[in-house]
Amino acid sequence: MGRLTNKINATRVTDVENDVVRLEYSATGGGEVSGHQVTDIATHQSVRLADGTETATVKIVVHAVQGGDLLVLTGSASGVMRGGTVRFEGVLHARSTSGKFRDLNGTSVLAVGEMVDNKTVKHVWRRFPG
């Protein structure tokens, strides 16, 4: 259904308590969703534990390059950090009421994301069930 590559523009520590670190990432990028070239803006809010596990909530706004139609994805994922890479798996919920992405409105999307060295995130999405 879609692939995006995002560059992390800002990382912010929002809280530290014992072995729990709360982080917020802002990212921009682009790719392809449902056959359309897109750009996107994303915010990831993560809880990272000392054992390397991490959970995240994400909000992504996708813009079609041609026509500017919007798709909004929100959801959560979890993963484990190994070296400088975190591989997340989770579910996103799609919202779009008009334009190129209206057929995705209300669908659930299986998401796999890989964050490398807190610099880039590669997303791969497919419809659920897919």
Q: What is the DSSP secondary-structure string of the chain?
A: -EEEEEEEEEEEEEEEETTEEEEEEEEEEEEEETTEEEEEEEEEEEEEETTSEEEEEEEEEEEETTT--EEEEEEEEEEEEETTEEEEEEEEEEE--SGGGGGGTT-EEEEEEEEETTTEEEEEEEEE--
Q: What is the DSSP secondary-structure string of 95-117?
A: E--SGGGGGGTT-EEEEEEEEET
106: left (phi over 0), alpha (psi -120 to 50) or beta: left
pLDDT digits (tens, 9 = 90+) for 74-121: 999 999 988 889 999 999 999 998 899 999 999 999 999 999 988 999
- pTM greater than 0.75: yes
* Confidence bin at 40 (pLDDT 50/70/90): very high
> Hey, what are 88's tokens?
């997340």
pLDDT digits (tens, 9 = 90+) for 58-74: 999 999 999 989 999 99
> Hey, what are 103's tokens?
């057929």
Per-residue pLDDT, 117: 87
**Mean pLDDT confidence for 14-22:** 94
